[in-house]
Amino acid sequence: MAYLTGFINGDGHLCYRKSKNEYAIFCSGNLKDEKEFYDDILIPLFKKVFNIEMKIKLEKSNNTYNIVFYSKTLLEYLSKELSIPIGSKSSKVRVPDFIKRSKILLIHFIRGFSDADFSLTLKKRYREIPYYPVICGSSKSSRMIEDISSFLKSNNIPFYKEINKTIDDKRYGHSKISTITIYGHNNLVKWMRLIGFKNTKILKNFELWKERNKNNKRARNALESINSSEGMI
């Protein structure tokens, strides 16, 4: 439940259409590189947690993979009990107080939100092939980024944070967003041990990072730590 709460706060949407008396829970991903994650992880998780069958709706014109469920009861539960806003939510999302009070719930919440709104990319850093890991996350909600930042700080994961910076891009338009960026091999390992990812798209980049750093001296200790760690997510 904590994971799905985090994910819906990222890539989900609670919609009430008064004209149709329609209550809907949507999640939207990229048809090209997130379909596997939705089919293998997200849809079964909705079934496990809420005992519902999410319906699939494709929008090939804009490369979108949607899953949806219509339920007034579930929408009201997600809104009232789990503090997920109805309608436009980007600047309003936050970590519910009851989740903040539990480290294990907070970890699952952050993992869900990160699977929606974070990425893992590899940078060249003056080499021919990208190899250097960078985790990036963003939200129009400065409160969400501050909450995640506080958790990272308390668990000794270094990060770079920007709050309410002005941007102009395809996703957010001209607006203010807040971001978290985590650099480096050791910090990637810290993240994966504590939080991790479920999103197949992101995990493929994680496997690529391991492959490209087998002979990298700086990454060797981190790689060995991953291979030998029983606490790995």
Is the domain spanning 2-89 CATH 3.10.28.10? The answer is yes
Domains of the chain: which residue ranges?
Answer: 2-89, 113-228
Multiple choice CATH, 113-228, 2.60.40.10, 3.40.140.10, 3.10.28.10, 3.30.70.3270: 3.10.28.10
105 Cα distance to chain centroid: 15
Q: What pLDDT, in 10s, does the model give residues 163-173? A: 998 877 665 56
Distance, in Å, from the CA atom of 148 to the CA atom of 173, rounded to the nearest integer, reads 24
Tens digits of residue pLDDT in 46-105: 999 999 999 999 988 889 999 999 999 999 999 999 999 898 777 788 999 999 999 999
Domain 113-228 in the same topology as domain 2-89: yes
Question: For all residues of the chain together, what is the average pLDDT?
Answer: 90
Looking at residue 38, the DSSP 8-state letter turns out to be I
According to the model, what pLDDT value does residue 223 have?
Answer: 66
The confidence score (pLDDT) of residue 233 equals 47
Cα torsion angle, 105, 165, 133, 116, sign: positive
pLDDT in tens, 191-222: 999 999 999 999 999 999 999 988 887 777 77
**What's the rounded Cα separation, in Å, for the pair 51 and 34?**
22
pTM of the model: 0.91
Q: Residue 64 contacts by C-beta under 8 Å, 6 or more apart in sequence? A: 28, 29, 30, 31, 58
Amino acid at 184: G
